[in-house]
Structure 1
Amino acid sequence: MKRNVLIIGAGGVAHVAAHKCAQNNILLGDIHIASRTLSKCHAIIASIKAKGSQRGPGLLKAHELDAMDVAATKALIRSTGAQIVINVGSPFLNMSVMTACIETGAAYLDTAIHEDPSQVCEAPPWYGNYEWKRRDACLKAGVTAILGVGFDPGVVNAYGRFAMDAYFDKVDSIDIIDINAGNHNRYFATNFDPEINFREFTSTVWSWEDSQWKANAMFERKHDWDLPVVGKRTAYLTGHDELHSMSKNLGVPNIRFWMGFGEHYINVFNVLNNLGLLSEKPVRTAEGLEVVPLKVVKAVLPDPSSLAPTYTGKTCIGDLVKGTKNGQPREVFVYNVCDHKESYKEVGSQAISYTAGVPVVAAAMLIADGVWDVGQMVNVEELDPKPFIGLMNRIGLVSRVRDAAGERVLDPYAEAPAKSRSSTPVAETTR
């Protein structure tokens, strides 16, 4: 059993993760929050106290840390006694934090793929460029490293795996659909770090089709979806982290990611992009100042965490899975709906951060009690999804399923077969 959590990062997802850790600190133990900006860590702790989130006695402490400094990160892990590290800082930090975990023996969790600040949209599979190169080191050290365990990536990986196990003999396609039907009441803003957000959309869109990588331009392909609660929405084919592990681990020939965008977002994005303001390459001004245009845009846009108080509406994110069962065609949509206003009421956050922060804490809890403490590096779809989905149902993110039988709350133990696929790297758990 592992105890004591170090959360690295102090943005919107870290805010949610800290609240959820506090709500479950009887299992997780002491909670430490570390960031370059100490005041942000203190603000999260103040929010936890104001909301009464902490359920049991234990430390709740802030630390100043440059997580690019591996030695400093190792020292903090050791001094706090943290056996679980939740990395929800910038994706630029992943390799540094993972190295510190491997060298200290702490379990490692993140919610997004590593990125090199100087590279945008590297060649697929993205995990093969950085994370997977550390698999042998994790295995040798006996360190559990669960990659991309937010919502997408993360929960959608588990949904895909669960659907394959529970509903199909053969799966032909998985379409991951992410719709934010909310309104933040600002002229223009991104729901998470603008720099990371824009980097996703300024280069090649990679999808997995006919068992090979296919390249498209952003906003080149769109599809109209009729979804629960949010209704008919247009979404665009977009490159995304989970495709790069699910394509390898699930054996499904077609896996695509679709994200909803409004016309206003697309228009503003295209203007910024066409002017070169979304470039990660430095430019020099007439005054001789060297600036990175993307960082300037980030500096003038609203902080995503500031959107929460006035955010209204809901998100709908899920996997539309198609294939056959007993020789007959079948279609299943496994999904979650999250409410911005309810998220703010509970933890002071909007739903985008909530849907990313809850799953990583659920994974930490499964490591803490040994269910997912596998002593190696894995992506979420390599693990038994039932305890993960079941735990999220209890701590804030309820999964649902829509198929020919109708719509219902997903009880993973009632709907899954007794035995999961043999590729699972961990033992089947009991209820």
Structure 2
Amino acid sequence: MHRCYFISILDLTDRAELPRWLAALARSAETEEDTRRTVATILGEVRSGGAQAAIRWTEKLDRVVLDLDRLRVPESALQEARTRLDREQPELMSALRSMIANIRRFAEGQRACLQDLSLGLPGGGTVGERWVPLKRAGVYIPGGRAFYPSTLAMTVIPAQVAGVERIVGVTPPKPEATLPGAWGIDPLVLACASELGLTELYPFGGAQGLGFLAFGEPAVDILTGPGNRFVSEAKRQLVGTCGIDALAGPTELLVIADGSANPAWVAEDLLGQAEHDPDAAAVLLSEDRNLLEAVSRELTARIEASPRRAILEQSIQAHGRLIHAERELIVAFAQAWAPEHLEVCVEDPESWLPDLTTASALFLGTSSAEAFGDYGAGPNHVLPTDRSARFASPLGVATYLKRQSLLRLSPADAASMAPWVDRLAQAEGLVHHGRSAALRCGHNQK
């Protein structure tokens, strides 16, 4: 009988050990160079060959033959999927609508917080900035091991609330013999697209999908949405061609728990993260050794009985940890790792909040399972990973907006500023900058 690998309890006793612990959690980069070369080849061919090149790569990688004249999934197929889901699985359709409503409510709250700025000047002019939506957005909906209508909603709704004029989605197809959806796309994804009002959806995945969005007729201003290493590498190589939300890697969960936490709940939260991917990381930190031992027993039993046992054992063997440490070291670990998801399953989570500033998303209290965030409690589930949460933020309405500065000077304002602007420009050797400002002085009109 196989035993669960997530059984040993490790002790963290010294802050100096943190770099070694974090290095052990780093995901493998063995294929990194191969990935770069493959992605560069795909993007180069799509840049020069357009949709035809994307079709060729889709046939090669996904074993799906697409027709150039029938690429876009027709709205009739989207509507049909929604009608069928409404008729045959009304409870699932209701759940989908609940998710959409919560995500939209949260996005609308975000937009309301993004206020334009206007500051008055002594001479009657103003300086400020305004938020303006991007024109075209491309959203990537993963579809490797599973299909994610939740990610479709998480990427499309903030763009809609931001006011993006054109939103184009791509998602990897599967051979229609294995999936009874239009163009090999999961019917639930199609139904979700229809419910959202997304009318442009194409059956492209991977680097060829992002190349199609960046170089094709859509020529989007920004690419958003998570994916595998090929998607992340394609985003990296497309920096400068268009905006990107983040270079998302394998998913991560850190749970901080005390003796008040339910071991079964904690175990399922860890397994919920581990089941995503063999490279997923699921880590538990606690001051309470009894809790760690109870969670270890729960994990062993639940993995052995799980229909997803194979993938759970892979991810947990590589990146699962049960760690015993004092509170100071728990905080230091969390701050240094900056995990994608951080659950604070303790009696008084608010007392921890001031010290936990680097994680992408926090889930406070034992009832706030990360799964609720994944499926639409409100905040977005497209999040920075691989320690980039130290400086990056979750996807949201602001992702699809840009700030545009505004300067409106009155003649009096210009005349007042011109002398010192001229002096500074001359000091920097930029003569014509100074002269440009000086011309605005009332005594110098030539």
Structure with more of its chain in strand, by fraction: 1
- Compare CA radii of gyration and give the structure with the larger one: 2
TM-score with structure 1 length normalisation? 0.30
